[in-house]
Structure 1
Amino acid sequence: MALSDPHLAELAHAYGIATEFWDFKGRLTEVSAETVIAILAAMDVDATDPDKSTAALNAVQNQPWTRVLPPCVVVEQGRAEPLLVHLPHGDWVRVAVRLEDGGLRELTQLRHDVAPRELSGRLLGEASFELPADLPLGYHRLEAATADGEVDATLVVTPTFVGFPAALGDRRTWGYAVQLYSLTSAESWGLGDLGDLADLAVWAATQQYAGYLLVNPLHAAEPTAPIEASPYLPMSRRFVNPVYLRPELVPEYAELGADARRRIRDLKRKLRDRIRDNDLIERRPIWKAKLKALRVIFDAGMRPARRMAFNDFLRREGRGLTQFATWSALVAEYGQDFREWPAKLRRPSSPEVAAFAAKHHERIVFFAWLQFLAAEQLRAAQSAARTAGMKLGIMSDLAVGVSGRSAEAWTYGNLFADGIGVGAPPDPFNQLGQDWGQSPWRPDRLAELSYAP
């Protein structure tokens, strides 16, 4: 069905939904009304008939008038921008910016002749203030003082251009694109790891004079086997996939007793015997063997200095790591899709999740420790690359989203649009288009949280 309802098209634009695109043959293609209605429904907007789309359009157009400040304002440094403020018609208001460093900048009110608007029996006015071009980069606070009290909101000042890395100077450089999982060696466990990455970086820098290595996304996958083969469908983009760890590079490995070291060597030998003649990467047995080896190392404990470093890592990563490690422990207990867990465990803030975390504290610490090791080995690989002379070192690709059963979907469930997926329109290689199996973020709800997730 064609997009004939003008209110539906305007409603789509109000929610940032494109209503047309140029296809790979150069034709302007209109998005169908059914598609627009489905996307709006995923954002909790009912536009199933003209009356409902008109009502929804009025609601979204009136929404800014119902609050003094927007939930979050994003501006580019170097550009003066107007800030619209709403309050009862005729009331006074003062607006200032509280800078990250604690400083205060009063804003200048601009002439702004806009008729007041009546909503729910209240006559509301709109005022405009100038956000100056010289605000420093950072996350600041907008503070509005009115006759009814004080209101604040987040102000984000972003760079217009982040520039090029200083290490490049005025010269270009080149490098290798590498799928890390395929970069196996005699030392790794049948799948390329962060030790292999460091070795390749040193070789590429010293023998080929490469300036960087670009690797596939290293995002976290499932914490238990089987794990997703595609690095572009992760469980979290914030954390690293510990399948890329090399157990022998963990400092505590060198301090293990003879028995424990023999157990790990046996795990590796049996794994390599099993996968030796297979041309495919056997992620499931590889991760099962590595997980057992890493558990042996974890159970041996840490020296006080290492324990302090781990505790510093936990503090630095904060609540995000705790939630990810808790989700990992829940996956190990209840399965890989949180949507199939007991209902009371599907929200990270529930009392039942807190009770589970208390009961399974050691397992949660183990999964957090894996991230500590991953950060450590990735940092060591980058250090090896830069020390060997690479201008940029190691760069990682980034997935556009996460799986619908991911840790991020569990943590931020209401920030994702249900019932629709991220993908791409038809192209010469995929003439039916692509579905990447990922739920998109909801921009409106991200704004409410100042885009923090």
Structure 2
Amino acid sequence: MALSNPFLTELAAAFGIAEEFWDWKGRLTEVTDETVIAILAAMDVDASDPERARAALDAFRQRPWTRLLPPCVVMERDAPRRVQVHLPHGNWVRVAVRLEEGGFRDIPQVPDDEPPRWVDGVLTGQASFELPADLPLGYHRLQATTEAGQSETTLVVSPSFLGFPASMGEKRAWGYASQLYSVASEDSWGVGDLLDLADLATWSATQQFAGFVLVNPLHAAQPQPPLEASPYLPASRRYVNPLYIRPELVPEYAELDDRARGRIAQIKTKLKKELSGEQLICRDQVWTAKIEALRVIYDHGLRPARRMAFNDFLRREGRALTQFATWSALVTRFGGDWREWPSELKRPSSPTVALFAEQHVDQIIFFTWLQWVADNQLRAAQSAAKDAGMRVGIMNDLAVGVGGSSAEAWTYGNLFADRISVGAPPDHFNQTGQDWAQAPWRPDRLDDLSYAPFRSMVAGILRHSGGIRVDHIMGLFRLWWIPDGMA
């Protein structure tokens, strides 16, 4: 049967919640009221009874009228897009686009027959403006100027179609898929690393004429044993797991004195003995040894030119990296699940977190340095792949999500849906369905943030790779949300 009341049905449609789906046996399955209500509750919408559902629907319809501009506007190039502006009825408004590469474009107003309505005691009107189809691709700023002042929002102009890259020529490329942690050479530390990746890419290109090497997600994990074994349940998808760093490849390693280099050799020799005869990958032991060795290199310091390069990296990554490094330092002190930390540490903006950061500056800088080193070694691996003749090079894998205990969940907080995990419905592969224990992003909050977390994540992954594999790519269009207790 359909949902029990029309307000709940309209709310589900407004928030992109499907009322039914076709199961793996070809049967049309309807979603229950309880499931829809729970999913809406995870997005701060109370639809627990018909009256509350009606009030929530009214609030949803009214919301655009409370803003001068939408929180974000997305359009495809080559197709015009209308944007509605809301302001006190009778007031004038001008709209323009401030282009990413510089300059402005005035946007023409077009007829709009929508009558004004009362919003919070103010008679509010709607004006429509048509964005032209020839705006350049990019992230621009849409500005609205009224007699009361100016407001602006993000305007994203995306391509309508991604064709075959010209750099690929006329032929498709083939390549190897590799779980990097398993590709450990004699010289690595018990886990395949970024130098092993460079060597694998070079061999694949020169000996096998491969066009790419696809690796498992290299996303960052928590920096405290026990390390998460699955690369598909990371702590952050924007940053790289320092487990894949080759210590001897860090330029400052060559500058160490005999005592420091001897210390690193001792750490590595001891690790090799511990791993002798092991049939499984021992991430915890490798991480413990490698982080100790990397600390020795870090303590050596940087020459002026390298210091400038490190500072440039810090400026590029900005506050996001500082927050990730702060989370990393907190994990080493309070454990891997921030939800179990003292309450005053559960928000990155809290004064207690700021005080902790002041008291642990060096440790936080160390974690940012690890990301810089990993970034440099990943760039070197991609350069080696391209220099060896690969048309694509390294192809990174993007996991579908992160766990609720992750750095992303701590950093972005209410961007994630509360008491929801992502999975898959029953199918031939798993007839009881799947719960991946991953917290989903809220689409409405992503829109409010102009999709900045998603944009920075993808930019980080593609910075030093020739391609990307998106795990469960349908997740860009739909996700199977599972409310707590309803699996």
Shorter-chain TM-score tier: over 0.9
Alignment of 1:174-185 (within 5 A): 174-185=174-185
Distance 2:356 2:58 in 1: 45
Aligned partners of 1:148 and 1:186: how far apart in 2?
Answer: 68
- CA–CA distance in structure 1, aligned partners of residues 294 and 34 of structure 2: 50
Give a deviation string over 1:252-275, Cα, whole Å, max 9, x none: 112222222222222222222222
- Which residue pairs with 2:460 in the alignment? none
> d(CA) in 1 for partners of 2:308 and 2:107?
46
Contact 2:2 2:19 in 1 (8 A): no
Q: In structure 1, what is the equivalent of residue 158 of structure 2?
A: 158
- The Cα of 1:46 is off from its aligned counterpart by 0.6
Distance 1:96 1:388 in 2: 47
Letter of the 1:138 partner, please give it. Answer: G
Tell me what 1:6 maps to: 6
- Distance between the aligned counterparts of 2:149 and 2:388, measured in 1? 59
SS, match of residue 96 in structure 1: strand
Q: Distance in 1 between matches of 2:56 and 2:37?
A: 12
What CA deviation, in whole Å up to 9, does each residue of 1:278-333 have, x standing for no partner? Answer: 22111111111111111111112222222222122112211111111111111111
Counterpart in the other structure of 2:464: none
The match for 2:324 is 324
1:95 and 2:98 matched: no
Q: Find the aligned partners of 1:289 and 1:165 in 2 and give their Cα distance.
A: 42
Post-superposition CA distance 1:410-431 (Å, at most 9, x none): 1110111110011111111111
Aligned twin of 1:235: 235
Cα 1:124–1:326 shift into 2, 3 Å: same
Tell me the amino acid that sits aligned with residue 191 of structure 1: V
Equivalent position of 1:207 in the other structure: 207
| 1: CA distance, partners of 2:56 / 2:324 | 37
Residues 89-143 of structure 1, C-alpha deviation per residue, up to 9 Å, x if partnerless? 3333222212223322221121221232233333322221101101111222222
Q: Deviations over 1:13-36 (max 9, x none)?
A: 111222222222222222221111
Matches within 5 A, 1:298-317: 298-317=298-317
Question: 1:410 is matched with which residue?
Answer: 410
Aligned residues: 453
**Structure 1 runs not aligned, ≥5 long:** none
> 1:2 Cα deviation (Å)?
5.4
CA distance in 1, matches of 2:217, 2:76: 29
Counting only pairs closer than 5 Å after superposition, residues 335-346 of structure 1 correspond to structure 2 as: 335-346=335-346
Within a 5 Å distance, the mapping from 1:204-283 to structure 2 comes to 204-283=204-283
Say whether residues 1:72 and 2:72 are aligned partners: yes
Q: Identity of counterpart residues, as a percentage?
A: 68
Report the 3-state secondary structure (helix = DSSP H, G, I; strand = E; otherwise coil) of the residue aligned with 2:398: coil
- CA distance in 2 between partners of 1:315 and 1:383 (Å): 23
Q: What is the root-mean-square deviation in Å for CA atoms of aligned residues?
A: 1.5
Aligned-partner SS, 1:223 = coil
How far 1:201 sits from its partner (Å)?
0.5
- Give the aligned partner of residue 82 of structure 2: 82
What CA deviation, in whole Å up to 9, does each residue of 1:165-206 have, x standing for no partner?
Answer: 332112111001111111111111111111111111111001
- The amino acid that maps onto 1:244 is Y
| Cα distance in structure 2, aligned partners of 1:256 and 1:313 | 23
1:4 counterpart SS class? coil
| Distance in 1 of aligned mates of 2:26 and 2:184 | 43
| Cα deviation digits, residues 361-411 of structure 1 (max 9, x gap) | 111111111111101111111111111110000011101111211111111
Judge conservation of contact 2:202–2:388 (CA < 8 Å) in 1. yes
Q: Counterparts of 1:103 and 1:305 in 2: how far apart (Å)?
A: 35
